[in-house]
Amino acid sequence: MKSRFSDWRINTVTVLSVVVVCVIFLRIVHIQIANHEDINEDARNRLHPRVAWTARRGSIFDRNGLPLAVTNRTYVLGVTPRDLPDDDDKLEVLSDAASTTRSFIRCLLKRKDTYIRLARKVSLSCQQEKILSSMPGVRLDPDPERMNPFHCMTPLLLGSVGSDGSGTGGIELSFSDLLRGTDGWKVYSRDAEGRLYRRADAPGRKPENGHDLYLTIDSRVQAIVDFELEQAVSRCGAASGAAVVVDPWTGEIYALAEKEGAKAGKIKNEAALYSTSCIYEPGSTFKLITSAYLLERGEVDAYDVFYGEEGEADFWFGTFRDAHKFGWLTFKETFKKSSNICTIKAVMNTDREDFYSFLLRFGFGSRTGISLPAESAGTLRKPEDWSGRSLPSMAIGQEIGVTVLQMAMAYCAVANGGNLMVPRIAHEVRDSEGELVREFSPVSVRRVISPGTARKLREFCRDVVVDGTGVRAAVDGIDVAGKTGTAQVADGSGYLQNTWVASFAGFVPADKPRFVCMVVLNEPASDWQYGGLSSAVVFSEIVEGINLASDLLVPEADWIVDSTRLQGDMIAVPSFFRLRCAEAAQLANDCDLNIIFSSDEGEVYSQIPGPGTLIKKGGRVDLSFISGGDRKKSGVAVPDLMGLSIRQARRMLIESGLRSRVAGSGAVLRQDPAPGRKVLRGSTVSIRCGTSKKRECGGLTLAGGAAR
Amino acid sequence: MKKKPAYDLKLFYAVISLVALGLVMVFSASWVIAREQFSSPFFFFQRHAIRVALGLLCLYVFMKIPYGIFRRFNFWILCGALLMLASIFIWGKSVRGADRWLKVFVFTIQPVEVAKYSLMIFFAVRLAEGRKKLSDLEKGFLPPVGAAVAMAVMVGLQPNISNVVLIIGLTMTLLFVGGCRFRHLGAFAGTAALAAALLLYRMEYVVQRVLVLLKRSDDVSGIGWQVNQSLIAFGSGFIFGCGPGKGHQKYMFLPDAHTDFIYSIIGEELGFVGTAIVLLLFALIFRRSLRIAKRAPNEFGRFLALGIGLTIFATAIINMAMTTGILPTAGLPLPFVSYGGSSLVASLAAAGILLNISTQARDPEPPAGRGRTRSMKNISYARRSAAPCADGGRKR
């Protein structure tokens, strides 16, 4: 039988099969050898993806090293229900971490989503983190949280941090470059379940953590200013209030507080810092600058006299009034009694251009240069645009818009002998190892008045407090100087009848000021409209509080002690801030000090006496502790006030963040709540005082105020 | 000729090599998914090993059964296969949208794998009846075509397009080799093309897979994912591969790594060397089956050997072309290697039939002593005998 297999047809099939094999072969060569590099690169990127390694944002501290803003490692906790085993134990761990209940999570899991977010800003213990990160179906995405541990700062000043880790306002925005650090990257690998893990030898670049920023803010001063301002705003029924405490010699801002009142005022701002971004008409406080101009130019002498026109004067450019009827006043009395008419008479014939340029030199109409976003330059019109009424109006603080900070810096210039300084909020920058990276030094803008004029003006200001409009600003035993201001608020068409800005600007001590304090109350109730009644009182309370609770007003030579210059058996108290109990005990032991604990958990957040105070070796230091859990709730223990003087008691309450309601006089006899009770920060403690018995309060004589 | 049966040992070794390679690679490719789904890395490997044992038993049995028996029962075998295919529509088990599996006692079988070989037997019988009969449209041409079309329709309804293409392709090749008229063949091819064109509109996923092939890079995560991952597997293998068990693609990247895409895993872990050897082994199997066909004692044996060889070879080639991205993704396993009981057992049984045909070779084999280790002489003999065929082939 003849085989049909020698047929050409079978050969065709054979040839075709050879061709097909060759095609496959060439294709294998193509993808396995020729394109090997490209494909491999692609595969490597999928298998070993490069992931950003975020830098830790630097912390913000006050000048004493108290943390104001720190970044906490928190996570977004989510699950992919498809991979999550339905296991009670695992759900228990999950619900613990997300602080919900198991049944709630079960409910969520019934949804048909591929990913369900259970909770944000979850802080985990190491144990939980370990368990959760190895659990299938659970996702932990880093979501750093910015925390303000002590809540003692004006939120708008400190600013906040956006979800991408950049500052969104205030100091966080201004110093974002320093705080932020440089992100690195790391290469991950995928394991059998497709999850990412990191090999020990995987390449990567470590991130450079952000620098730590130390502010010029003194949190103790800040606490006092906050406290007093808050009380004043509610007492006076004001819409809002702002207060600034500045060192006139360096321009360092010790405290900057802003409070909103219960009354929704016209001047309400939610996004901008009032002190730097909002302008107001300063009123009589501006007379200091007018007087400075007149004295500096020699136009007027302190004892030139002007007639007060019995409270109302008609000038060719309009009618001006005084709050009281004045007769003949010297220029000094004019300032002391804040007479509008006499001030206008003194200034009305001066050269506008010269006055304008003087105001410019004083920093009005330009930004102060503080490193904060959205600073306003104020409103200062050019002389060409002035009407006949403008010059006299400006002389008494109308028709000009200034910021609180501009006014404070102008007072600083007078306080320090004539130098206009740049206000500073940042003290120094340290890297994450604590090494000094950058120090901010005082910057003087220009000399605006001569030291002689400045001295005269300081005398003027002191007179205001001694027997002028600002007598309520006086503080026992301290030489206070300042100027009141009561300005009507204009709404564009004219001045509003019952809307006022009450302000007081002053400095202590009068001869060689240690700080300048400016207090502004917006729209106080009509009983409190005068700066001499409302703001001056706040000023006085702030000064008193600072005197009691800090060493700002203490003459340097006696109290600020360099640790290298220890005399005899005296020792400078070290800072115990943020130390744990055992560490504090160790430090105290090293320094030969006795320490008294308020509790033995958490970290030190307050110490008496403050760091740097010189006390005898073996002396007593009281430490107050705050534990991690308390921070958010800010529960504080009521201090034991029994037997203390009212001042001492109030000082202790202020330091604990509590308000006081005092009845009687003398030493404290009763207090409510009782000592040691935990109450919320800001609660009121009633004190009943009397003179029945005296109790000596140990070796606590530290700050100057107690002695005075 | 009444000597000890001389099996085609090259074919045997090639098949055994592929099966052994398959055992290793199935374990390597499947342990991840087995651990994930069945909490035992050996789940697929154990089942594969059992099927290999079963397949080798079949290989032995079919090696011993004289192949002539298939001729006698060819019609009943075909009817049985068609019945099995039909019963899928009643008792079938659906996997990923396709009813391809049939549960018989404890086994889940894929009838199409058996049906393909039964069709080959039927074809061999029909084609062996002679060229003259084949030239006759009604009596010669239509019965095999009818059987093939019936089977293709049943398979196509599952739906299993790749096997339809394979069946139609094999039918046309065998009819072509069998010597049918070009008119008939052309008409059949035209009808098939028309039907395919109409079906493309109906079956969207086929269109999508073809589109993916044409512009693969556009769609990395969707339909193109599998092919793309397959290419990554090949590419990262390079010449020697990353070593058995060390590949990454089986870690949930490449779906079906141990079944249809086992060739990609071979490419990744054994490299170009592995893929080339597998390709050459299949080429060798086809080469040996052509040789067996040439030496078969009768026409039936010839066409049976050719049909079985073609089926194995074509399945393998389509699978390789698919994994390397030449053809659109299809559901065809790599014979002898892929995980999948029906394919493995049926292929091994078919290889057994091939070996049985090889024992009944027409030409005298060299003495047993040398025959055990095939010398180069025999191979050159085979080439010599093939060469004049090409030249002296009859022109129509």
From chain B, pick out residues whose CB is under 8 angstroms from the CB of A3: 294, 302
Q: What integer is the mean pLDDT of A199-217?
A: 84
CB-based contact (8 Å) between A19 and chain B? no
Residue A516: the pLDDT is 94
Q: What integer is the mean pLDDT of B179-200?
A: 86
Residue A374: the pLDDT is 82
Contact assessment for residue A28 and residue B234, using Cβ atoms and an 8 Å cutoff: yes
Same domain, A479 and A511: yes
Q: Could you tell me the CA-to-CA distances from A160 to A67, A157, A257 in Å, in that order?
A: 15, 9, 17
Q: How many helices (H) and strands (E) does chain A have?
A: 23, 35
Q: What integer is the mean pLDDT of A465-476?
A: 88
Contact A31 B310 (CB under 8 A): no
Residue with the bigger pLDDT between B27 and A144: it is B27
Residue A502: the pLDDT is 92
We report the CATH number of the domain holding residue A352 as 3.40.710.10
Residue B216: the pLDDT is 53
Contact assessment for residue A104 and residue A79, using Cβ atoms and an 8 Å cutoff: no
Same domain, A505 and A441: yes
Q: Is the pLDDT of residue B43 over 50?
A: yes
Q: From CA B266, how far away is CA B297, in angstroms rounded?
A: 38
Of B232, B248, B272, the CB nearest to A28: B272
Q: What is the pLDDT confidence band of residue B215, given thresholds at 50, 70 and 90? A: low
Which residue, of A523, A549, A575, is where some domain finishes? A549
Q: Is the pLDDT of residue B95 over 90?
A: no
Contact A13 B239 (CB under 8 A): no
* Range in A53-67, A460-474, B102-116, B185-199 with the lowest mean pLDDT: B102-116
Same domain, A281 and A430: yes
Average pLDDT, chain A: 81
* Range in A503-512, B92-101, B196-205, B325-334 with the lowest mean pLDDT: B92-101
Of A1, A6, A25, the CB nearest to B389: A6
Contact assessment for residue A16 and residue A9, using Cβ atoms and an 8 Å cutoff: no
Q: Where in the sequence is the domain holding A180, given as residue range(s)?
A: 50-214
Q: What is the pLDDT confidence band of residue B394, given thresholds at 50, 70 and 90? A: very low
Q: From CA B152, how far away is CA B82, in angstroms rounded?
A: 10
CB-based contact (8 Å) between B252 and chain A? yes
Same domain, A649 and A672: yes
Contact A11 B390 (CB under 8 A): yes
Contact A32 B235 (CB under 8 A): yes
Cβ-Cβ contacts under 8 Å between A and B: the total is: 126
We report the CATH number of the domain holding residue A559 as 3.30.10
CB-based contact (8 Å) between B283 and chain A? yes
Q: Note whether residue A629 is domain-resident.
A: no
Of B231, B275, B393, the CB nearest to A7: B393
Q: Note whether residue A474 is domain-resident.
A: yes
Q: Note whether residue A540 is domain-resident.
A: yes
Same domain, A576 and A673: no
Q: Is the pLDDT of residue A618 over 70?
A: yes
Of A1, A3, A39, the CB nearest to B235: A39
Q: Is the pLDDT of residue B352 over 80?
A: yes
Q: Is the pLDDT of residue B278 over 90?
A: yes
Tell me how many degrees the CA angle A300-A302-A307 measures, rounded to the nearest 5.
75
Contact A39 B271 (CB under 8 A): no
Which residue, of A596, A621, A646, is where some domain finishes? A621
Q: What integer is the mean pLDDT of B66-77?
A: 90
Same domain, A616 and A671: no
Residue with the bigger pLDDT between B237 and A515: it is A515
SS3 B116: helix
Residues 6+ apart with CB under 8 A from A493: none
Same domain, A524 and A389: yes
Q: From CA B362, how far away is CA A632, in angstroms rounded?
A: 96
Same domain, A527 and A415: yes
Q: From CA A77, how far away is CA A139, in angstroms rounded?
A: 6
* Range in A26-30, A373-377, A608-612 with the lowest mean pLDDT: A608-612
From chain B, pick out residues whose CB is under 8 angstroms from the CB of A35: 235
What stretch of H or E contains A328?
strand A328-330
Residue A558: the pLDDT is 44
Residues of chain A with pLDDT > 70, as a percent, come to: 89
What is the value of ipTM here, to two decimals? Answer: 0.85
We report the CATH number of the domain holding residue A167 as 3.90.1310.10
Contact B267 A7 (CB under 8 A): no
Same domain, A615 and A646: no
The whole-angstrom distance between A103's CA and the closest CA on chain B is: 27
Same domain, A205 and A242: no
Residue A687: the pLDDT is 85
Q: How many structural domains does chain A have? A: 5
Residues 6+ apart with CB under 8 A from A326: A308, A309, A310, A311, A337, A339, A341, A342
Q: From CA A437, how far away is CA A439, in angstroms rounded?
A: 7
Of A25, A43, A190, the CB nearest to B276: A25
Q: What is the pLDDT confidence band of residue A6, given thresholds at 50, 70 and 90? A: low
* Range in A277-286, A311-320, A323-332, A624-633 with the lowest mean pLDDT: A624-633
Residue A310: the pLDDT is 87
DSSP state of A601: S
Q: Is the pLDDT of residue A78 over 70?
A: yes
* pLDDT, tens digit, 9 for 90 and up, residues B306-325: 999 999 999 999 999 989 88
Residues 6+ apart with CB under 8 A from A40: B235, B236, B238
Same domain, A97 and A10: no
* Range in A656-660, B73-77, B124-128, B313-317 with the lowest mean pLDDT: A656-660
Q: What integer is the mean pLDDT of A669-686?
A: 78
* pLDDT, tens digit, 9 for 90 and up, residues A527-570: 888 888 899 999 999 998 888 877 777 655 444 444 444 456 67
Nearest to B157 by CA among B198, B99, B90, B209: B99
Nearest to B302 by CA among B69, B78, B79, B67: B67
Q: Which two tokens stand for residue B385?
A: 């005998």
CB-based contact (8 Å) between B389 and chain A? yes
Q: What is the pLDDT confidence band of residue A604, given thresholds at 50, 70 and 90? A: confident
Q: Is the pLDDT of residue B54 over 90?
A: yes
Residue A70: the pLDDT is 85
Nearest to A302 by CA among A350, A335, A337: A335
Q: How many helices (H) and strands (E) does chain B have?
A: 16, 3
Residue B105: the pLDDT is 66
Q: From CA B305, how far away is CA B84, in angstroms rounded?
A: 24
CB-based contact (8 Å) between A24 and chain B? yes
The whole-angstrom distance between A192's CA and the closest CA on chain B is: 5
CB-based contact (8 Å) between A563 and chain B? no
CB-based contact (8 Å) between B288 and chain A? no
Q: What integer is the mean pLDDT of A598-603?
A: 69
Q: What integer is the mean pLDDT of B133-149?
A: 84
* pLDDT, tens digit, 9 for 90 and up, residues B28-37: 988 888 887 8
The whole-angstrom distance between B354's CA and the closest CA on chain A is: 17
Q: Which residue of A has its CA nearest to B385?
A: A6
Q: Is the pLDDT of residue A1 over 80?
A: no
Which is it for strands A212-215 and A60-61: parallel, antiparallel or unpaired? parallel
Which residue, of A214, A239, A271, is where some domain finishes? A214
What per-residue string of b and e applies to B335-358 under the rule 16 or more CB within 10 Å gives b? bbbbbbbbbbbbbbbbbbbbbbbb
Of A8, A36, A39, the CB nearest to B393: A8
Q: Which residue of B has its CA nearest to A32?
A: B235
The whole-angstrom distance between B75's CA and the closest CA on chain A is: 24
Q: Note whether residue A272 is domain-resident.
A: yes
Q: Note whether residue A130 is domain-resident.
A: yes
Contact assessment for residue A275 and residue A244, using Cβ atoms and an 8 Å cutoff: yes
The whole-angstrom distance between A168's CA and the closest CA on chain B is: 37
From chain B, pick out residues whose CB is under 8 angstroms from the CB of A12: 176
Contact B393 A21 (CB under 8 A): no
Q: From CA A662, how far away is CA A683, in angstroms rounded?
A: 14
Residue A705: the pLDDT is 36
From chain A, pick out residues whose CB is under 8 angstroms from the CB of B131: 4
Q: Which residue of A has its CA nearest to B305?
A: A5
Nearest to A28 by CA among B75, B233, B367: B233
Of B271, B310, B390, the CB nearest to A32: B271
Q: From CA B62, how far away is CA B308, in angstroms rounded?
A: 13
CB-based contact (8 Å) between A29 and chain B? yes
Residues 6+ apart with CB under 8 A from A183: A52, A53, A54, A55, A207
Of A10, A20, A40, the CB nearest to B317: A20
The whole-angstrom distance between A242's CA and the closest CA on chain B is: 58
Q: What is the pLDDT confidence band of residue A26, given thresholds at 50, 70 and 90? A: very high
The whole-angstrom distance between A141's CA and the closest CA on chain B is: 23
A375: left (phi over 0), alpha (psi -120 to 50) or beta: beta
Residue B266: the pLDDT is 93
Residue A141: the pLDDT is 79
Residue B136: the pLDDT is 79
Residue A192: the pLDDT is 53
Q: From CA A126, how far away is CA A129, in angstroms rounded?
A: 5
Q: What is the pLDDT confidence band of residue A505, given thresholds at 50, 70 and 90? A: very high
Mutation pick from B389, B391, B395 vs chain A, by most beta carbons of A within 10 Å, is B389
Of A9, A36, A42, the CB nearest to B238: A36
Q: Note whether residue A410 is domain-resident.
A: yes
Contact B388 A10 (CB under 8 A): no
CB-based contact (8 Å) between A41 and chain B? no
Q: Is the pLDDT of residue B263 over 90?
A: yes
Q: Note whether residue A626 is domain-resident.
A: no
Residue A661: the pLDDT is 79
Of A13, A28, A193, the CB nearest to B177: A13
Mutation pick from A11, A23, A28, A30 vs chain B, by most beta carbons of B within 10 Å, is A28
From chain B, pick out residues whose CB is under 8 angstroms from the CB of A9: 176-177, 179, 393
Highest mean pLDDT among A288-292, A496-500, B2-6: A288-292
Residues 6+ apart with CB under 8 A from B280: none
CB-based contact (8 Å) between B30 and chain A? no
Q: What integer is the mean pLDDT of B6-30?
A: 92
Q: What is the pLDDT confidence band of residue A701, given thresholds at 50, 70 and 90? A: very low
Q: Is the pLDDT of residue B253 over 80?
A: no
End-to-end CA distance of chain B: 36
Q: Note whether residue A343 is domain-resident.
A: yes
Residue B392: the pLDDT is 40
Q: Is the pLDDT of residue B199 over 90?
A: no
Residue A518: the pLDDT is 94
Nearest to A576 by CA among A186, A166, A64: A64
Q: What integer is the mean pLDDT of A372-381?
A: 88
Q: What is the pLDDT confidence band of residue A16, given thresholds at 50, 70 and 90? A: very high
Same domain, A544 and A672: no
Instruction: Give the CA-trace dihedral at A633, A638, A639, A644, to 10 degrees.
Output: 140
From chain A, pick out residues whose CB is under 8 angstroms from the CB of B275: 28, 32
Q: Which two tokens stand for residue B208?
A: 């999508």
Report the amino acid identity of residue A658: L
Residue with the bigger pLDDT between B248 and B114: it is B114
